[in-house]
Amino acid sequence: MRQLGRMLALAGIPMGLRFRFLDPNPDPCAAELGEHVHADYEDERALARFTEALDAATIEFENIPPAALKRAAQRVPVLPGPRSLETAKDRLEEKRLFDRCEIPTAPTRTVDTLEDLEAALAAIGSPAILKRRTGGYDGKGQAKITSPDTAAIAFASIGERPAVLQGVVEFDHECSIVAVRSKTGEMAFYPLAINTHTRGILTRSVVPAEPHALTDAAVAHATKILNELDHVGVLTIEFFVENGALVANEIAPRVHNTGHWTIDAARTSQFENHLRAILGWPLGDTACTDPEGCAMLNCIGAMPPAAQLLEDTRARLHDYAKQPRPGRKVGHITRPGATNDAFDVLEALVTKTNALAVPMEPGKSALESPVIDNEQCRAALKYAMESEDLPSDEIDIDRMKVTQHYEAYTDENHEVWNYLYQKRMEQLVDVGSNIFLSGIKAIGINDGKVPDLRTVNDNLKSITGWSSHGVPGYLPGKSFFAFLAQRQFPTTITVRPKTSMDYLPEPDIIHDVFGHVPLHADPVFAEFLQTYGKAALHTDDKTKLTQLGRIFWFTVEFGLINEDNKLKLYGAGLISSEGEGHHALKSSEVERRPFDLKTVC
């Protein structure tokens, strides 16, 4: 996260507070606001330096190693305390907390083995959500199971770790309450926010003008939780609203994304009140300052153009100074006055940027495809998760491959491919790069039917030595780089449904094979891509990996190229998507710059 520590410091500096940050990241966005101790959390000497002469220490996320927290607490008060952190980081303990406080939750079962999962599905039914007990956030570490047949694949996609299975709540909407409790026992509560998530990541929070009808119930639940945990600081509870009642989803024992609106539209922000609470100071007023309410939008993956956002003179821009990366929260926009036409313009601008940047969970696109064998998919996913911990030269990419059962493609699959191929090629003849057009012809991809990778590879290998291989879905970075380093491209082999022909958030064979693979027939690109894979595979430097990711994003995925004195589509994300391709070439909102390595990185 790191932006939470930054916002805590921004709230505390005006009150005369000074800050020190312990962070293994070499360049955290909070570092410019205080002293940065750059070390692992469990580094004994670093912990001693970090805690020296501090009045209090706090956390911005739950997954700090317990041993580090214990050692720090021997030197300085660490708030919130261990009960809050241990409960919030384990979904089973969290469920037990809700039960003790008599707060309703979705049906839940413990899962340690595949047999446990099958039994849990029999008891709860499907659809259901499988969540790792520890280590998951923003939709990571979980999988939706729509049929018992996909249980093994879902379990593999979370690394076959201890988990819980939760029934799906058919909710009207989601909401959250941000609460705060001081060392003195004083409590305060912010207005309920109505939240929207996209693929597991919060995209929007709105505090309406009128108090939420369930405010009193949420305050009662939060009071129980704060007292049960003896919590000190801010704590957030996320709820589903089902049939006019609250159903608890999860807690966060810290300042929270759904409370970011408080910076610009509450009398006292959640960040200031958190600091007041851990220092034992009186808590500030939590009321919304705007009679029309307030709305907050997350910027995910990349920041929209600031000048366009600020054309709305009531918009408040918060850029976290973080490197763009798919799925990363890099900023937010607050708009006092809640939702209206002006807000709709802001939301459209932010949503367009976010749509390109929210990644899918590993394996998601394979969960219900007859063209992939379930057991082979399960084994491939499990190994892909494990490979993240292996030395680079020990990764066996063959263990992540799945067979393309070509005969299992349906008539609808072929119809979708044929329709999109013909529609897209009519446009790409004029606006697609010559490299793409030459490549797609050379490797024999055409209309009529979904491409058979065996045929594609027979043609491609003779040109550049590259080949494409089916994988269960989105792979972790290290696994992906291992494929590229060996001149092999991991491709999803599923086909989007007719209902989602214009846009699909996760990759499918249309994006991967139609968009990416023709470029592999170009000798210059083929050499670049392999070199790129080798470079990314053999570095653990987070800064360099971020820079490599930006190069890939602005070239291979969303690059333009100047050919024949004309700007044309080059990247796979633009080639495979009519909407994105048109937007990149024609929209006045797009800033098109000559490629410059220093600017990109």
Of 145, 167, 189, the position where a domain reaches its end is 167
Instruction: Give the pLDDT confidence score for residue 325 in this predicted structure.
Output: 62
Residue 531 structure tokens: 């070199």
Instruction: Give the pLDDT confidence score for residue 240 in this predicted structure.
Output: 95
> Does position 369 have pLDDT exceeding 80, yes or no?
no
Instruction: Give the pLDDT confidence score for residue 363 in this predicted structure.
Output: 38
Closest CA to 577 of 454, 423, 350: 423
The structure tokens 């070199």 sit at: 531
> Does position 362 have pLDDT exceeding 50, yes or no?
no
What does the DSSP 8-state code read for residue 329? E
436: containing domain: 364-600
Instruction: Give the pLDDT confidence score for residue 499 in this predicted structure.
Output: 61
**pLDDT per residue as tens digits for the range 198-235:** 767 899 999 988 888 999 999 999 999 999 999 999 99
Ranked by mean pLDDT, the top range of 258-272, 323-337, 391-405 is 258-272
99 falls within a domain: no
Distance CA 95, CA 225 (A): 12
> What CATH number corresponds to the domain at position 238?
3.30.470.20
Residue 482 phi, psi (nearest 5): -65, -40
In a shared domain, residues 149 and 192? no
In a shared domain, residues 257 and 375? no
* Choice between 240 and 28, residue whose per-residue pLDDT is larger: 240
Closest CA to 431 of 543, 565, 210, 585: 585
> What CATH number corresponds to the domain at position 393?
1.10.800.10
Instruction: Give the pLDDT confidence score for residue 201 in this predicted structure.
Output: 84
pTM, two decimals, is 0.67
Instruction: Give the pLDDT confidence score for residue 358 in this predicted structure.
Output: 41
Per-residue pLDDT, averaged over 32-42, amounts to 91
Asked if 152 and 165 touch (Cβ cutoff 8 Å), the reply is: no
Instruction: Give the pLDDT confidence score for residue 474 in this predicted structure.
Output: 73
495 falls within a domain: yes
The number of domains in the chain is 4
In a shared domain, residues 247 and 199? yes
Ranked by mean pLDDT, the top range of 406-415, 462-471, 547-556 is 462-471
Of 120-134, 189-203, 491-505, 576-590, which range is least confident?
A: 491-505
Per-residue pLDDT, averaged over 562-574, amounts to 93
> Does position 545 have pLDDT exceeding 90, yes or no?
no
85 falls within a domain: no
155 falls within a domain: yes
Distance CA 325, CA 358 (A): 9
> Does position 538 have pLDDT exceeding 90, yes or no?
no
381 falls within a domain: yes
Of 8-17, 236-245, 484-493, 548-557, which range is least confident?
A: 548-557
Instruction: Give the pLDDT confidence score for residue 261 in this predicted structure.
Output: 96
Of 228-232, 321-325, 378-382, 525-529, which range is least confident?
A: 321-325
Of 58, 78, 98, the position where a domain reaches its end is 78
The structure tokens 């329709």 sit at: 419
> Does position 284 have pLDDT exceeding 90, yes or no?
yes
Identity of residue 365:
S
In a shared domain, residues 488 and 529? yes
- Place 367 in a pLDDT band, splitting at 50, 70 and 90: very low
Of 10-24, 322-336, 356-370, 496-510, which range is least confident?
A: 356-370
Closest CA to 346 of 313, 301, 323, 302: 313
Asked if 494 and 474 touch (Cβ cutoff 8 Å), the reply is: no
In a shared domain, residues 151 and 186? no
Torsion-angle region of residue 89: left (phi > 0), alpha (psi -120 to 50) or beta?
alpha
Distance CA 450, CA 141 (A): 32
Instruction: Give the pLDDT confidence score for residue 504 in this predicted structure.
Output: 60
Per-residue pLDDT, averaged over 138-156, amounts to 77
In a shared domain, residues 223 and 280? yes
User: Residue 38: is it exposed, middle or buried by C-beta count within 10 angstroms (0-12/13-18/19+)?
Assistant: middle
Stretch (H or E) spanning 201: strand 201-207
In a shared domain, residues 149 and 17? no
Instruction: Give the pLDDT confidence score for residue 139 in this predicted structure.
Output: 60
The structure tokens 């249309």 sit at: 510
Of 309, 335, 355, the position where a domain reaches its end is 355
Instruction: Give the pLDDT confidence score for residue 140 in this predicted structure.
Output: 66
Local structure of 507: helix, strand or coil: coil
> What is the sign, positive or negative, of the torsion defined by CA atoms of 365, 366, 368, 369?
positive
In a shared domain, residues 480 and 571? yes
How does strand 35-38 pair with strand 20-23?
Answer: parallel
Asked if 144 and 150 touch (Cβ cutoff 8 Å), the reply is: no
Instruction: Give the pLDDT confidence score for residue 388 in this predicted structure.
Output: 76
Per-residue pLDDT, averaged over 353-371, amounts to 49
In a shared domain, residues 147 and 196? no
- Place 64 in a pLDDT band, splitting at 50, 70 and 90: confident
**pLDDT per residue as tens digits for the range 401-437:** 999 999 999 998 998 899 889 989 999 999 999 999 9
Average pLDDT, the chain: 88
Residue 61 structure tokens: 């996320």
User: Residue 122: is it exposed, middle or buried by C-beta count within 10 angstroms (0-12/13-18/19+)?
Assistant: exposed
For the chain, give the percent of residues with pLDDT over 90.
Answer: 58
Distance from chain centroid for Cα 459: 37
First to last CA, the chain: 21
Instruction: Give the pLDDT confidence score for residue 357 in this predicted structure.
Output: 41
In a shared domain, residues 312 and 422? no
> Does position 4 have pLDDT exceeding 60, yes or no?
yes
The strand pairing partners of 251, in sequence order, are 237
In a shared domain, residues 248 and 337? yes
123 falls within a domain: yes
96 falls within a domain: no
> Does position 359 have pLDDT exceeding 50, yes or no?
no
* Choice between 473 and 34, residue whose per-residue pLDDT is larger: 34
Torsion-angle region of residue 10: left (phi > 0), alpha (psi -120 to 50) or beta?
alpha
Residue 207 structure tokens: 């505090």
Residues sharing a CB contact under 8 Å with residue 15, sequence separation 6 or more, in sequence order? 272, 275
How does strand 329-336 pair with strand 128-132?
Answer: unpaired
Asked if 101 and 247 touch (Cβ cutoff 8 Å), the reply is: no
Instruction: Give the pLDDT confidence score for residue 354 in this predicted structure.
Output: 62
- Rounded alpha-carbon distances, angstroms, from residue 394 to 398, 480, 575: 12, 14, 34
> Does position 355 have pLDDT exceeding 60, yes or no?
no
Instruction: Give the pLDDT confidence score for residue 364 in this predicted structure.
Output: 43
18 falls within a domain: yes
In a shared domain, residues 252 and 324? yes
Closest CA to 466 of 514, 525, 400, 384: 525
Per-residue pLDDT, averaged over 540-564, amounts to 84
- Place 370 in a pLDDT band, splitting at 50, 70 and 90: confident
**pLDDT per residue as tens digits for the range 449-458:** 999 999 999 9
Instruction: Give the pLDDT confidence score for residue 400 in this predicted structure.
Output: 93
